[in-house]
Amino acid sequence: MRSFLKSAMAPGIRKASLALAAAVLPVAWSAAAHAEEKPVEERIKALLDINELERFHSVYGYQQDKSLFNENVDLFVEKGSSTIFQNALYKDKTGIRRMWLGNWGRLTYDAYMMIDGLMNDHLMFQPVFTLSEDRQSAKMRARGRGYITTFDGDIGKRTIAFGDHYVKEDGTREATGNLSLVQDYIYENTFVKDNGTWKLKDWNICIYATSSYSRGYADLPIPGKMGNGPDVKPGERRHVDLEEGKPENPQELFPGNPNGPDQVLTPEDTGCYVAKNQIMSRSALVPFHYPNPVTGQPVVWENR
């Protein structure tokens, strides 16, 4: 397909062939739905950009699966980049490196590669890319499903803080065992062209649902399980995100915490209601970056 498109850009190609290529290969543009159609050559160039961005996002995922954290940090522009992970904001590439290596390094004993005893795979799908008019930047919304598990051994002990917890009658928390999690999340990312190469500028992930393999999302909160206190009533959920306003567990900001974020945002700021150690605590309200493709109007979270 790529060779066909490149040949279509070569001088002397018949206009009929270009028109056919444009007709069968749709491109997402940021312009309104009824705007004047772009020239065929521009549509093909935009299609190639979208193709590169889809490949880029997939490459990121395969590297993340195998804990190649340094390689993923290298995907970002040097200046002006940021990440938001569960409402924790990390600024610039130094902050991004702090988040990737300091946060997820706990999974791998700070060995930034795949290690025996850990599975951290996630599937990414349903991407929507919106390319800017000048094709120098793009936004993406996508979803993912993650599977994170460890088995007995040192790696299991190392990652105990990531696992399920229960609250004892005296109020102390204890871990129930090694990781066995399934998660669902939403990406809202921004890409820019840097000297002709696509790179990440802003990376934003909201993990809006987390549970164990065995119980799944359908299970009701259990007293003393998944962050719920021993006196929880049937059907109640502990809204950690609303009560504490911090990502996952309370964190001290950088530089007090060498791996901490630069800023903690609220769920109202991001639309991400953290579900770590909860089960579907609230629906994710992460804003859409694109308008309704027919009306051209912004998509808002309201009943009408």
For the chain, give every domain's residue range. 2-270
Write the CATH number of the domain with boundaries 2-270: 3.10.450.50
Kind of pairing, strands 82-85 and 197-212? parallel
- To which residue do tokens 């460890």 refer? 150
pTM (predicted TM-score)? 0.76
Q: Position 164: which residue type?
A: D
* Dihedral-angle region of residue 195 (phi above 0 means left; psi in -120 to 50 means alpha; beta otherwise): left
Per-residue pLDDT of the chain (304 residues; tens, 9 = 90+): 444 344 444 444 344 443 434 443 444 444 433 345 678 999 999 999 999 999 999 999 999 999 899 999 999 999 999 999 888 899 999 999 999 988 777 777 777 887 777 888 989 999 999 999 999 999 999 999 998 887 655 554 555 445 555 444 555 555 555 677 788 889 999 999 999 999 999 999 988 877 777 666 665 555 555 555 566 665 554 444 444 445 445 468 899 888 889 998 887 888 887 654 444 445 678 999 999 999 999 998 776 6
**Strands ordered across the beta sheet of 137-150:** 118-131, 137-150, 180-194, 197-212, 82-85, 88-91, 263-264
Burial letters for 52-89: b for 16+ Cβ neighbours within 10 Å, e otherwise? bbeebbeebbebbbbbbbebbbebbbeeebbbbbbbbb
Q: What is the pLDDT of residue 208?
A: 80
Burial letters for 196-221: b for 16+ Cβ neighbours within 10 Å, e otherwise? eebbbbbbbbbbbbbbbeebeeeeeb
Separation in Å, CA 54 to CA 21, 58, 68, 129, 262: 19, 6, 19, 8, 30
